[in-house]
Chain A
Amino acid sequence: MEYIIYIQRNTELIMEYAQNHFALVLTAIIISLVLWVPVGVLITKNEKWASRVLNIANTIFCIPSLSLFAVMVTIPALGLGRRSALVALVLYAMMPLVRNVYQGVKGVDKSVIEAAKGMGMSSWRILWEIQLPLATPVIFAGFRITVVMTTGIAAIATYIGERNLGRLIAEGLTRFNVEMIIVGALFIAIIAIGLDSLLGYIEKRIVPRGLRTGRS
């Protein structure tokens, strides 16, 4: 009950935080997609580069989020605030996006590629008409992981000056305000789960029909 009262009393603040949270997540995701999907596709053409890039992505992914945010802050061009947060989030997204695009494209049945090549399809045409469509389930899985993860990590950006839902938790912790913590945690969890389910729904519609018929 007290949570509802808290939400009612602070609707405006929560809405502002939620908006900021969304804006940060959305921007990070868009930049990540524009950046990492092409990288994932490109490295399918060269094994050596693939292992290098994937290694870098893996290593970045290991870095604790608070650490990465903290390091970003020390870079003068970034400083406290949105720019640091964005860079860190985009760096985290590298691993699930690049890896899944790479694995998705590489995982396409070799015989399908062989047959397409044998019919005279150019390698870009094969990529565009066969490999990418067939990789959609795997790519989408990576996309979902990215969205959920970014939503969660974005909350931590509150410690480097972002005014988002993470702030409810942070302030709740310093003020020992349980309602604030729970409402903050709840909202972030709801956004993450909501986005995940939404993407799950979109995934079902976007996956090529021939890949689904077997299951229906």
Chain B
Amino acid sequence: MIELREVSKVYPGQSAPAVDNLSMTVEKGETCVLVGPSGCGKSTTLRMINRMIDTTAGTILIDGKDIRQSDPDKLRMDIGYVIQQIGLLPHRSVAENIAIVPRLHGWPKDRIKKRVDELLTLIGLDPEESRHKFPSQLSGGQMQRVGVARAMAVDPPIMLMDEPFGAVDPIARNHLQDEFLRLQKEMKKTICFVTHDINEAIKMGDRIAIFSAGQLVQYGTPQEILSKPTNDFVKDFIGLDRVVKILSLFHVKDVARRTICTAGESELPNVAGKMRDLGADTCFVLDNGGRAAGFITWEDIAKHGDSAASETMQQIVAGRKKAFVQELVLLRDALSLMLELDTEHLGVMDGNRITGAISLRDIRKHASKKEGE
């Protein structure tokens, strides 16, 4: 647990404090994202936690212990630190770079070697192949992974990350974020993560701290921040698509309706009855191979009548061949797919299995409900 109590930082020669009387707590095992425009004090705050910068006033406690009581080097050896420029030692191999902190801790050689291989595997690099490479031989994404592995080398309970994925291209960044989320799910480290990208904050953070001009403007879960911005600054910072961003906090599976009704192509004329019997408002039509070819909704039946010509029905079904999403897709992306396909309904699948349906109305309801919470 990291606790900041009335912490301030004034740089010499500047009148306005870079961080002004800041108090906040990062709970154990949580990822706290510090976000704000440049010069808002988020990096300064992060760097005060491992004493890269010393506080002007106030106290910082790690697990109840004042950080000023520890030797700065010792303190840093137990806190993982990742920066945007990575800072791999160019004259040391990948393995040697990862081994720096274990070496400072005086680990025996074979333990270090084992740990290095373990970490390389963890970050998806082949130990045999990459161990002896130099940083200049890696891609930007690979370098950043090694940087993260290096910070995790002695399995520190706390990690500080200063725009760790800021320097890589968007595709690699997305990938690194996903990977890191996956790792964090198992590791449960206490993480402070600085970014200026609100989308990254929403994606990575258990809690988000929004900074402006050295002050903490709002501190809360992504959902709290998105649904109840405390003031116009936060609102502006989040952007006009605030509600759409709320949708990116939820998956299709959170909203999907689970009453499923299926029918073979030959059963098309009897679909309405079948749906009525099951109380379902969507009926998936399977092709001869048993795969979903499309679906019919209650609205179709209301529009074309119970006994609509089966050709009409077939056309509707065929038009929805692509209108399916996976359960784990974000609501925001499902909405985007609806707009793209010009439809108000999507089938929901888990792998190849049909698990439910979702409509524009469901999403709209969910959004307004979460917005009101």
**Residues on A facing B (Cβ under 8 Å):** 109-122, 130, 133-134, 208-211, 213-214
Q: Give the interface SS of chain A, mostly helix, strand, loop or mixed.
A: helix
Does B137 contact A115, Cβ atoms closer than 8 Å?
no
Contacts of B86 in A (CB 8 A): 111, 115
6 A-B residue pairs with CB within 8 Å: A111-B87, A114-B52, A115-B86, A118-B160, A130-B91, A210-B134
Tell me which residues across on chain B come within 8 A of A110, comparing CB atoms.
85
Q: Closest Cβ of chain A: how far from B115's Cβ, in Å?
A: 15
B positions within 8 Å CB-CB of A = 50, 52, 72-78, 81, 83-93, 100-101, 104, 134-137, 147, 150-151, 160
Chain B residues with Cβ under 8 A from A208's Cβ?
90-91
Contact partner of B89 among A112, A118, A120, A214, CB < 8 A? A112
The chain B residue sitting closest to A111, CB to CB, is B85
Cβ B150 vs Cβ A209 within 8 A: no
A120 close to B73 (CB less than 8 A): yes
- Interface contact B76-A118, CB-CB below 8 Å: yes
In angstroms, Cα B238 to Cα A100, docked, is 49
Q: Is the beta-carbon distance between B104 and A120 smaller than 8 angstroms? A: yes
Question: Can you name the residue of chain B whose Cβ is closest to the Cβ of A123?
Answer: B73
Q: With A and B bound together, what is the CA distance between A209 and B74 in angstroms?
A: 30
Nearest residue in A to B134 (C-beta to C-beta)?
Answer: A210
In the bound complex, CA of A167 to CA of B87 (Å)? 54
Q: Contacts of A211 on B, CB cut-off 8 Å?
A: 90-91, 136
- Residues from chain A with a CB closer than 8 A to the CB of B150 are 119
List chain B residues, Cβ under 8 A from A112.
87-90
Known: A120-B77, A134-B90. A209 touches B100 (CB 8 A): no
- Known A117-B76, A119-B81, A119-B101; contact A214-B87, beta-carbon cutoff 8 A: no
Distance from B43 Cβ to chain A, minimum over Cβ atoms (Å): 11
Which chain A residues border B92 with CB–CB below 8 Å?
210
User: Using Cβ atoms and an 8 Å threshold, which residues of chain A touch B78?
Assistant: 120
Task: Please determine whether A121 and B137 come into contact, CB atoms closer than 8 angstroms.
Answer: no
Let me know if A119 and B77 touch, CB within 8 A.
yes
Known: A114-B83, A209-B134. A119 touches B91 (CB 8 A): no
A117 nearest CB across to chain B (Å): 7
Q: Which residue of B lies closest to A136 (CB)?
A: B91
- The distance from the CB of B87 to the nearest CB of chain A, in whole angstroms, is 3
Q: Collect the chain B residues with CB atoms within 8 Å of residue A111's CB.
A: 83-87
Contact between A118 and B83 (Cβ–Cβ < 8 Å)? yes
A93 to B150, CA, bound (A): 41
Chain B residues in 8 Å Cβ range of A114: 52, 83, 85, 87
Min distance, Cβ B90 to any Cβ of chain A, angstroms: 5
A216 to chain B, nearest CB (A): 10
Distance from B130 Cβ to chain A, minimum over Cβ atoms (Å): 13
Q: Are A121 and B87 in contact (CB under 8 A)?
A: no
A118 to B53, CA, bound (A): 11
- Please name all residues of chain A whose beta carbon is closer than 8 Å to the beta carbon of B89 when the two chains form the complex: 112, 116, 130, 210
User: Would you call A115 and B88 a contact (CB within 8 A)?
Assistant: yes
Question: Closest approach, in angstroms, between the C-beta of A144 and any C-beta of chain B?
Answer: 20
Residue among A110, A118, A213 having the largest count of chain B Cβ atoms under 10 Å: A118
Query: What is the CB-to-nearest-CB distance from B352 to chain A, in angstroms, rounded to a whole number?
Result: 46
CA distance A176 to B83 in the complex (A): 69
* Additional A-B contacts beyond A119-B101, A134-B90, A208-B90 (7; CB < 8 A): A109-B90, A111-B84, A116-B87, A117-B76, A208-B91, A213-B134, A213-B137
Q: Is the CB of A210 within 8 A of B135?
A: yes
Q: B62 → chain A, closest Cβ, in Å?
A: 14
Closest A residue to B101 by beta carbon equals: A119
User: How many angstroms from the CA of A210 to the CA of B91 in the assembled complex?
Assistant: 4
Partner of B90 from the list A119, A120, A121, A210 (CB cut-off 8 Å) is A210
Question: Does the CB pair A113–B87 fall under 8 Å?
Answer: yes
Question: CA of A122 to CA of B93 in the docked complex: distance in angstroms?
Answer: 21
> Could you tell me the distance in whole angstroms from the C-beta of A115 to the nearest C-beta in chain B?
3
Q: How far is the CA of A167 from the CA of B86 in the complex (A)?
A: 57
A122→B91 CA distance, assembly (Å): 18
Contact B91 A118 (CB under 8 A): no
- How many angstroms between the C-alpha atoms of A117 and B83 in the bound complex? 12
Q: In angstroms, how far is the closest chain B Cβ from the Cβ of A202?
A: 17
- Rounded to whole angstroms, the CA-CA distance of A119 and B50 in the bound complex is 9
Q: Is the CB of A117 within 8 A of B101?
A: no
**Complex contact B90–A115 (CB within 8 A):** no
Quick one: which of B93, B100, B151 contacts A116, CB cutoff 8 A? B100
